[in-house]
């Protein structure tokens, strides 16, 4: 038995979910005031990594000891807007506690592995289904280090990957130079994850998924949703006035899902981990394996628009203006990591800031609300929304059918009391 579903938000999560539900026979309406895959969503400007290795939680044991140092480093990967601190403190405390013990991070890594392990295959299939094979490339992903010692300093992270079956090769300096001559000689060791894939244009990919969904019968309503109600049946009120009702409502509005949930009395702890990118176009693109240099922790991704360097975690209220100083940090890292960029004087650069919708326990929120069984959460994917999108869509399908996978229970909003 099927019925009607309203999906709120046409980012990577909402668009993939809309397509999967429609293909399964549901009658889907997709609401978003912005163009699918547009700059307003995190899905537009992310690093495009489809990584089975992204199972290591951001919050790890001992983080609390590193936080002061990280925060004092203006060029470091983590910054905080002090004026937003009072609002952020409750989330921050839960975040640090979620990774306070090894047992907790082992659990989180296992759940993320369930979510992400077959992301590359699922995306290759989705790309085929939507005629976008040219956008998803499976060339592996590379984590570069100055030396073996720095790799070993992240022993817990690599152990978690190994124990979860994430295969990686260790590359010495010779192998690294041979495969990635463009990378600075300051990096002399790497871990290569052959199964990893990446997307060459994340915004276009989302737009292409929505095009296919529309051809399959999804109705797109280019309006924002102001609120959701649940009695006698699910109904959304549109920002422009008027409303729509359906048998189920799926909330996939990224960071903005927080306000929509609040209207239903569900205070899901989610904050924006703001991130930035700079994309540098240059005549040559001498490498086609995405790289994450350990210094700086930023994703360096070959895209159709040039080399995209994305990263930085900036904890700040979502209504704060972007701090474009963060992009200067990304740019400096790019120029230091790839000497060839310095020889190409006129880069055509684009810059961007987006909101990672992040929960303190590092897991997305997927499934029915305990008190509103016809409202389904599909948000909070933090750093892994691209990799997790196809599996999330499958989980939402399980939720509307009332037959969720057993493992899906760990992602339910009920863990926050809703
Ligand atoms: C710098 C950076 C790098 C990243 N790199 C990676 C990476 O390499 N790999 C990876 O897997 N993930 C990465 N991520 C994370 C990833 O981008 C996100 O997890 C993912 O895009 C979230 O997708 P989403 O669909 O939930 O949200 P979004 O893409 O933000 O989409 C939400 C949509 O909802 C719409 N919306 C908002 N409010 C309403 C409303 N009231 N009514 C209707 N529609 C509404 C918005 O217009 C938007 O289109 C990165 C993120 C950042 C910021």
Q: How far is the CA of 11 from the centre of ligand 1 (A)?
A: 6
180-198 per-position pLDDT tens digit? 999 999 999 999 999 999 9
Query: Who wins on pLDDT, 69 or 355?
Result: 355
User: Ligand 1 atom closest to Cα of 257?
Assistant: 38
User: What's the mean pLDDT in 287-314?
Assistant: 93
User: What's the mean pLDDT in 16-40?
Assistant: 98
Q: How far is the CA of 385 from the centre of ligand 1 (A)?
A: 7
Q: How far is the CA of 17 from the centre of ligand 1 (A)?
A: 14
* Torsional sign, CA 74, 77, 78, 82: positive
* pLDDT for the residue numbered 282: 77
326-344 per-position pLDDT tens digit? 999 999 999 999 998 888 7
Residue 280 and residue 349 in contact, taking contact as beta carbons nearer than 8 Å: yes
Cβ within 8 Å of residue 355, ≥6 positions away: 42, 254, 255, 272, 273, 274, 275, 318
Q: How far is the CA of 56 from the centre of ligand 1 (A)?
A: 20
User: Ligand 1 atom closest to Cα of 310?
Assistant: 1
User: Ligand 1 atom closest to Cα of 40?
Assistant: 47
Give the torsion through C-alpha atoms of 301, 305, 306, 307, to 10 deg: -20
Q: How far is the CA of 74 from the centre of ligand 1 (A)?
A: 26
**What is the share, in percent, of the chain residues with pLDDT greater than 90?**
86
CB-side neighbour CA atoms (13 Å) of 412: 19
The pTM (predicted TM-score) of the whole model is: 0.97
User: What's the mean pLDDT in 245-267?
Assistant: 97
Q: How far is the CA of 147 from the centre of ligand 1 (A)?
A: 34
CB-side neighbour CA atoms (13 Å) of 289: 24
31-85 per-position pLDDT tens digit? 999 999 999 999 999 999 999 999 999 999 988 887 777 777 777 788 888 888 8
Which pairs from 294-297 meet CB under 8 Å and 24+ separation?
A: 294/143, 294/144, 294/145, 294/146, 294/150, 294/151, 294/154, 295/146, 295/333, 296/77, 296/329, 296/330, 296/333, 296/337, 297/77
* pLDDT for the residue numbered 317: 87
* pLDDT for the residue numbered 76: 79
Q: What is the CB < 6 Å shell around ligand 1?
A: 8-14, 31-34, 40-43, 46-49, 224-225, 252-254, 256, 275-277, 299, 310-311, 354, 356-357, 379, 381-387
User: Ligand 1 atom closest to Cα of 41?
Assistant: 30
Q: Estimate to the nearest angstrom the gap between the alpha carbon of 225 and the chain centroid.
A: 22
CA 365-387-29 angle, to 5 degrees, is 60
Q: Which of 6, 7, 11 to mutate to test the pocket of ligand 1 (most atoms within 8 A of CB)?
A: 11
Q: Estimate to the nearest angstrom the gap between the alpha carbon of 406 and the chain centroid.
A: 23
User: Ligand 1 atom closest to Cα of 352?
Assistant: 1
Q: How far is the CA of 160 from the centre of ligand 1 (A)?
A: 26
Instruction: List the residue whose alpha carbon is closest to atom 51 of ligand 1.
Output: 46
Q: Does 52 sit behind a cis peptide bond, omega within 30 degrees of 0 on the bond before it?
A: no
Q: Which of 385, 390, 392 to mutate to test the pocket of ligand 1 (most atoms within 8 A of CB)?
A: 385
User: Ligand 1 atom closest to Cα of 384?
Assistant: 11
Q: How far is the CA of 242 from the centre of ligand 1 (A)?
A: 26
Secondary structure in 3-state letters for the chain? CCCEEEEECCCHHHHHHHHHHHHCCCEEEEECCCCCCCCCCHHHHCCCEECCCCCCCCCCCCHHHHHHHHHHCCCCCEEECHHHHHHHHHHHHHHHHHCCCHHHHHHHHHHHHHHHCCHHHHHHHHHHHCCCHHHEECCCEEEEECCHHHHHCCHHHHHHHHHCCCCCEEECHHHHHHHCCCCCCCCCEEEEECCCEEECCHHHHHHHHHHHHHHHCCEEECCCEEEEECCCCCEEEECCCCEEECCEEEECCHHHHHHHHHCCCCCCCCEEEEEEEEEEECCCCCCCCCEEECCCCEEEEEECCEEEEEEEEEECCCCCCCCCHHHHHHHHHHHHHCHHHHHCCCCEEEEEEEEEEECCCCCCEEEECCCCCCEEEEECECCCHHHHHHHHHHHHHHHHHCCCCHHHHHHCHHHHCC
Q: How far is the CA of 401 from the centre of ligand 1 (A)?
A: 25
Question: What confidence category does residue 347 fall into, taking pLDDT thresholds of 50, 70 and 90?
Answer: low
157-175 per-position pLDDT tens digit? 999 999 999 999 999 999 9
Q: 57-66, 128-137, 258-267, 381-390: which has the minimum mean pLDDT?
A: 57-66
Which pairs from 120-125 meet CB under 8 Å and 24+ separation?
A: 120/50, 120/52, 120/195, 120/196, 120/197, 122/390, 122/391, 123/50, 123/197, 123/199, 123/387, 123/389, 123/390, 124/197, 125/390
* pLDDT for the residue numbered 206: 98
Q: How far is the CA of 45 from the centre of ligand 1 (A)?
A: 9
* pLDDT for the residue numbered 345: 62
User: What's the mean pLDDT in 361-380?
Assistant: 97
135-150 per-position pLDDT tens digit? 999 999 999 999 999 9
96-106 per-position pLDDT tens digit? 999 999 999 99
Whether the predicted pLDDT of 276 surpasses 80: yes
* Distance separating alpha carbons of residues 15 and 206, to the nearest angstrom: 7
Report the mean per-residue pLDDT for the chain.
95
Instruction: List the residue whose alpha carbon is closest to atom 47 of ligand 1.
Output: 34
* pLDDT for the residue numbered 286: 85
* Distance separating alpha carbons of residues 279 and 271, to the nearest angstrom: 25
* pLDDT for the residue numbered 346: 55
Q: Which of 20, 39, 43 to mutate to test the pocket of ligand 1 (most atoms within 8 A of CB)?
A: 43
Q: How far is the CA of 356 from the centre of ligand 1 (A)?
A: 6
């Amino acid at each position: 038995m099927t019925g009607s579903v309203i999906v709120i938000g046409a980012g990577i999560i909402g668009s993939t979910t809309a397509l999967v539900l429609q293909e399964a026979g549901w009658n889907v309406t997709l609401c978003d005031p912005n163009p699918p895959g547009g700059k307003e969503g995190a899905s537009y400007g992310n690093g495009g990594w489809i990584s089975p290795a992204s199972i290591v939680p951001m919050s790890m044991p001992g983080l609390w000891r590193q936080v002061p140092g990280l925060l004092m480093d203006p060029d470091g990967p983590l910054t905080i807007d002090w004026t937003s601190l009072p609002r952020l403190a409750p989330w921050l405390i839960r975040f640090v506690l979620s990774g306070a013990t090894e047992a907790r991070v082992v659990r989180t890594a296992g759940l993320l592995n369930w979510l992400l392990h077959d992301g590359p295959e699922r995306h290759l299939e989705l790309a085929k289904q939507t005629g976008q094979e040219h956008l998803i490339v499976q060339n592996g992903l590379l984590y570069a280090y100055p030396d073996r010692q720095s790799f070993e300093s992240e022993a817990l992270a690599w152990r978690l990957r190994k124990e979860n079956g994430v295969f990686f090769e260790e590359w010495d300096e010779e192998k690294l130079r041979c495969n990635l001559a463009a990378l600075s000689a300051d990096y002399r060791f790497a871990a290569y994850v052959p199964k990893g894939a990446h997307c060459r244009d994340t915004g276009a990919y989302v737009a292409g998924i929505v095009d296919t969904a529309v051809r399959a019968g999804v109705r797109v309503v280019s309006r924002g949703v102001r609120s959701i109600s649940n009695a006698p049946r699910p109904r959304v009120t549109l920002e422009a006035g008027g409303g729509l009702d359906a048998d189920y409502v799926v909330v996939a509005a990224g960071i903005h899902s927080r306000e929509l949930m609040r209207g239903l009395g569900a205070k899901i702890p989610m904050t924006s981990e703001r991130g930035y990118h700079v994309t540098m176009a240059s005549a040559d693109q001498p490498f086609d394996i995405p790289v994450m240099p350990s210094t700086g922790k930023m994703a360096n991704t070959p895209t159709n628009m040039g080399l995209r360097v994305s990263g930085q975690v900036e904890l700040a209220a979502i209504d704060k203006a972007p701090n474009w100083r963060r992009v200067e940090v990304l740019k400096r890292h790019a120029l230091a990591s790839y000497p060839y960029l310095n020889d190409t004087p006129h880069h055509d650069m684009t810059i961007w800031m987006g909101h990672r919708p992040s929960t303190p326990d590092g897991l997305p929120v997927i499934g029915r609300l305990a008190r509103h069984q016809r409202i389904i959460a599909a948000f909070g994917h933090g750093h892994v929304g691209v990799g997790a999108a196809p599996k999330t869509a499958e989980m939402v399908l399980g939720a509307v059918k009332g037959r969720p996978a057993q493992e899906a229970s760990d992602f339910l909003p009920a863990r926050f009391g809703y």
